[in-house]
Structure 1
Amino acid sequence: MTQPQVKERKASTKPKLPRPKISCRACDHCQKYRSRCDGNPERPCTACNTKHISCTFLTPRRKRGPKPKNLTASNGAESHINPIISTNTSHYSNDISPNSSITRSYSTGSMYNMTRVEPSSFYYTSPNIAPIPSPISNTPQPNHIPAMLTSSSSPIANRTSQYHYSHDVQSINVFMEILQPHLGIISQQELFHRMTPQIQSVYFDFLLHCITCCIQVWISPQSQHDGTYPKFNRCIEEFYKLSPPTEYDQDYSRASQLLSIIQSQLLRRFETQQAQQSQ
């Protein structure tokens, strides 16, 4: 019985091309667009070099496993966070002082002719709550700049040309400790990296101002929550006086999200107070 002949495989003549080196961690740009990254914190990657952008590694790595449910300003997110804060309210409220703050001033320059919705009133007249604008979802395109808006005599330009925002570093630390893990507004690594004096932005500074207001409202005693209304009203007023970005700005959207969270917390407190008085 003859055995079947086994054909010998011919060796491939194609040269093996070296596989590109892939770093164990992708940069922020490659991670955002889910592309391969060959860079490291000491050397920028090819994609960032080609696009002439900075190659940064600020975004923290995500741990594998089931993702925690991210809390938002709606659907009762504050009810999950209140028990965590209630046990340490007196401790944090004694440490935070509204008078210890840092103030910066910015010159926003001329304004673009963009449509805005101006509120009829910025202040609480309980039970009426000041309206909160929704975060920016689309990228608005600026129209032409009229000559009247570029003039320094314009009342609109004077209103937004220079504005002061204050923030309390200790309040920000408390926010990052007890609220940030549940809200997911900004990572601690990005926050403290951008708080250096060399990296300044009017929208980021206003975000710090909203973070300070948020934690001060949150840890204020339930029986004395009326004193937090003026702080929130000032934030709303400053938000509407702030010149809107000419394109999508993440810090501007984060600030709007924080204002919605503060509003939800104050509404919850007002409803609780009304229920207690009706009993």
Structure 2
Amino acid sequence: MATNVTNGVLPIDDLHPGKTPTRLSWGAIFAGVVIAVAVQLVLGILGTGIGLTMVDPVEGTTPAATGFGIGAGLYWLVTTVVALGAGGYAAARVAGVHERFDALVHGLVVWGVTLILTLYLLTSAVGGIIGGAFRTVGAVAGAAGSSVGAAAPKVASIAGIDQGDVRDEVAAYLSDAPVDPAQMTPEQAQKEIARELPALARGGTDGREAESRIADIVAAQRKISRPEAQAQVTRAKQQFVRGKNEAIATAKSATDNAAGAAAGTSFVIVLALLVGAVAAGAGATAATRRRL
């Protein structure tokens, strides 16, 4: 009778077990993303329809912007939770995971892919529209400029006008006003004052010179004394400075309010995204199959 003798070493096939099956199913994740996006789209269209039914242009009954915005934000949050929860549940269920951690990873990956896909679609669509619009405007402006530049000499030639005479006439229109304010026409006086206003606003030496020049023009045009004209210019300057300061203060206040609103919106968006991640993870964990 033959006897099998072993040396205590396992066969090679027993030493190297088969490869561990992949714990992440991208097919299941893709299915979950498709379901999440579809559910979000359907609920978004439904919400748009509900919002439009609240607007009655005939009766003039329109919800307030604040209340409408809060309601839309809450509805968007609810739809996000439902869509990502359904997507995470579907992904984990299709993958057939048995570990809660594996299910959680499937749900979070569904959330991340859905988020990236949504941002890509939004940015690519908006960027394409804006880029196409600017390219169209640039092309039209370039074509118009080249057409006008080519047509101007031809029009002057047909009309029998010398280009040198045209340049002289343009120079005459753009010539400076007379130095003596008393010799200025009312139109020339207005243009001269308008040209001095930037220097007056800057202040300093240029501002004082501009103020003196404007006072001379006002005195000559209104036929009043130099001190009276200076007093009028000083009052106008004070009103101008006051209006400028008020405009600056208003702009600063608007900027602060906009920054605060943007910060608040950012926090709300981050909170909604985290809630979406929790919903996707919870939905996927709920789909974990028990081992038999």
Band of TM-score, shorter chain:
under 0.3
More strand by share: 1
Report which of the two has the higher share of helix.
Answer: 2
Q: Which has the higher contact order (CA 8 A, sep 6+)?
A: 2
Which structure is larger by alpha-carbon Rg, 1 or 2?
A: 2
Q: TM-score, normalised by structure 1?
A: 0.18
